């Protein structure tokens, strides 16, 4: 299993509330949702390769996204 590190993040309350609603919709914890969003942004920016195969997907894939 990959090494896990923790860090404190300060975010606007509205951003956290929106992330929590999104996490609830996707049946993920807030932490898992933040990690998912960061990983997807890094992948789309070419900073990391494809989905991390070492970590299982938590919850269903978000609706409205296609696997092009």
Q: Is the pLDDT of residue 67 over 60?
A: no
Q: What is the mean pLDDT of residues 2-30?
A: 96
pLDDT score at 56: 46
Q: How many structural domains compose the chain? A: 1
> What residue numbers bound the domain in which 39 lies?
13-44
In a domain, 54, yes or no: no
Calculate what percentage of the chain has a pLDDT beyond 70. 74
In a domain, 30, yes or no: yes
Against a cut of 0.75, is the pTM above it?
Answer: no
**Which element (helix H / strand E) includes 15?**
helix 13-25
Choice between 50 and 8, residue whose per-residue pLDDT is larger: 8
- CA distance linking residue 38 with residue 32, whole number of Å: 10
Measure CA of the first residue to CA of the last residue in the chain; give whole Å: 28
In a domain, 34, yes or no: yes
How do residues 26-49 score in pLDDT, each as one tens digit? Answer: 999 999 999 999 999 999 999 998
In a domain, 68, yes or no: no
**54 with 2: CB under 8 angstroms?**
yes
């Amino acid at each position: 299993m990959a090494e896990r590190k923790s860090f404190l993040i300060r975010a606007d309350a509205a951003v956290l509330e929106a992330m929590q609603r999104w996490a609830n919709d996707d049946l993920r914890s807030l932490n898992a949702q933040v990690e998912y969003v960061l990983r997807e942004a890094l992948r789309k920016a070419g900073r990391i390769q494809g989905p991390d195969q070492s970590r299982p997907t938590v919850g269903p894939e978000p609706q409205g996204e296609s696997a092009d």
